[in-house]
Structures are given as C-alpha cells and as structure tokens.
Structure 1
C-alpha cells in the first residue's frame, strides 16, 4: 500500500474529490449547486479573516499564496462555466485546457487586487448557478472530453468536481488563518 504524501492534509485539506459513478439525486445536485452558490461569499470572508499580509504567503511549502489561489479561481471558473455551456450545445466537445501554474505567475496576479477576482467570482457564480438550476435530467447526462485527463465527464460529474475545486481552494485559504 502506498504512503500518502507527507503534506497530503495541506495539499488536499478537504480530501480528494470522489466523482459519482451513478446518477445523482435531485437533492444531491441541489447540494452541490449550493456549494457553488456559496463559494464567493465564503472566499471573501476567508480572505478577510486571513488578512492581506498572510494572503501573500503560501499555504504550504512550494504551494501558491492566497492571492494566487483567489486569482486562480477567477481564471479557472469562467472556463469551467464555459465547459457546461459547450457540453449543452455540442456533442461531447473536447474542452480547452490551460497551464494553470503558468497563469498563476503572470504579472496581473501580483498587480490586481483580490477584490477584483472576488467580484468576478460573485457575478459568475450567480449566472452559473442560475443555469444549473434550469437543467433537465437529460441535460445533466450530457458530456465533454477533457484531453489532459483523457476522460469524458458528464455534467453531473463536472458539478461534483467543480464544487469540490472551489471548496478545496477555500480550504487552502483557511489554512493561512
């Protein structure tokens, strides 16, 4: 049996994602949608709690700092929302991927106040959650292909993955407190 990484609890403060093998119930979907709806306010509260100086420090050795995490979410979540829209309008599209570590090093990450990214996330999640509340049972089973992971995701699985993604990085911000 393999040993976990020594900093597993820092890398994955809420554990690793567990994607569903079976269709979700309506109540389960609603709970994951609620997690996406609540994320922007939770991130804002966590960032305030941590404070500006601590947000400039990494949550673990070799990890991103709080500023990079917040800007990463604002970079990635529009793409995740677009994946839903693509899957709803195309047959099993191949979705674009990006070099998130390289994006975290771009100069705007250090130069842009986190309030800009927190505001973007608030507005984006309002729109995304509205879309999710209007999907039919059939639409939840639509799919997209992720070339880096070399696998197909249903929109239900993507919902679970992306709700986890937000909570995962929220956990990183909370580690800075």
Structure 2
C-alpha cells in the first residue's frame, strides 16, 4: 500500500483546515451537519452484522463498532467543552486518551445502538445550544492542554462537523470497498 493510499484511508475527506474568516453562513452549515449526523450515521450502519461492525476500516485502525463508540465519546466531550467555554473564562479543558477509551469493553463489544442513541441526544442538546449563542459567545474559547492553544467555539463547531464527516467517510468507504451496500 502506498503512502497516498494509507493517507486516503486515514483522512478520506482530508484534514480539517480552519478558515481564517468564519462567516455566519459557514457556522450555520456546520450546525446543520451536526444536526443531521446522528440520523445519517444510524442509516449507514443500521443493517450491519456483528461481523461487519467488528471489521477495521483501515489497517491498524478501529473497527466500525469502535468508531461509532468513539464518535459518541468524543462528541460528549465536545458538548462539555462548549458549556465550559460559555460559562468560564478560557478554561483549560480535560483531555482524554481516546485510543485507550477505544480499547475498553463498551467500545470493543458494546451494542452500537447505545452510542447512536447517545449521539442523537447529545447532538439535539448541542445543536439547540449552538443555535442560541451570540456572536460574542462564538468568540469565547477554551484551552487544550496538549497544545496550550486557544480554540474558539466557532472553530470547534467546524472541527466537530468535520469530525462527523471524517468518521462517516471511514465507515462509508469501508462499506463501498467491501460492497456492503
């Protein structure tokens, strides 16, 4: 496998590039992605067998099941980070070891429906919140402890819209490659 093929499997939609100028229209587009993602994901994976769910989407990658549980865990953290930034002054967020979380029993063997339902709930809450925030709120930020960088909430909306599409593409591409559609 070439480096380009490996990169394409790892980043099927490319890496997220934060625009220097984030318009209100861009934010609304990202919020729409977040609003519809849980249903899109559910429709994509609802007919997969346990064997298919336990297939890795790329060499040295997670299984489809682990990806679904990871997205649920990650977006739960994201929601909390939004709330912290909206209620505290530039809080330093808590990082977590997503690779270790992905190896826990709930991620490796748990039914995907629990994470699909969690995504529906957390995205419902997140989207409701994001549709109510002001421009000033969108410029609030948190500090990520791994990079010590400030992340504006309007950037984080884009990051998680990308994250949704990124992992959706991992699963969708596997389904296409294996002709599981």
Query: TM range, normalised to the smaller chain?
Result: over 0.9
> Aligned equivalents of 1:133 and 1:30: distance in 2?
8
The TM-score normalised by the length of structure 1 is 0.93
Q: Helix, strand or coil for the counterpart of 1:94?
A: coil
1:69 is aligned to 2:67 = yes
Q: Tell me the equivalent position of 1:85.
A: 83
Question: Residue 50 of structure 1 contacts residue 176 of structure 1 at CA under 8 Å; is this kept in 2?
Answer: no
Q: Deviations over 1:113-138 (max 9, x none)?
A: 00110000001100100000000011
Give the superposition deviation at 1:147.
1.2
Give 5+ residue unaligned stretches, structure 1.
none
> Aligned equivalents of 1:48 and 1:113: distance in 2?
11
Q: Which structure 2 residues correspond to residues 150-169 of structure 1 after superposition, within 5 A? A: 150-169=148-167
> Aligned equivalents of 2:55 and 2:13: distance in 1?
20
> Aligned equivalents of 2:157 and 2:20: distance in 1?
13
Question: Residue 65 of structure 2 contacts residue 109 of structure 2 at CA under 8 Å; is this kept in 1?
Answer: no
1:13 is aligned to 2:25 = no
Give the superposition deviation at 1:26.
1.7
Q: Helix, strand or coil for the counterpart of 1:7?
A: helix
Q: Tell me the equivalent position of 2:118.
A: 120
Q: Helix, strand or coil for the counterpart of 2:79?
A: helix
Q: Helix, strand or coil for the counterpart of 1:152?
A: strand
Q: What is the alpha-carbon root mean square deviation over aligned residues?
A: 1.5
Give 5+ residue unaligned stretches, structure 2.
176-181
Q: Deviations over 1:91-115 (max 9, x none)?
A: 1110111000010001122332001
Q: Helix, strand or coil for the counterpart of 1:34?
A: helix
> Aligned equivalents of 1:8 and 1:50: distance in 2?
26
Q: Number of residues paired by the alignment? A: 174
1:48 to 40, 46, 49: 46
Query: Runs in 1 of length 4+ with deviation above 4 angstroms?
Result: 3-6
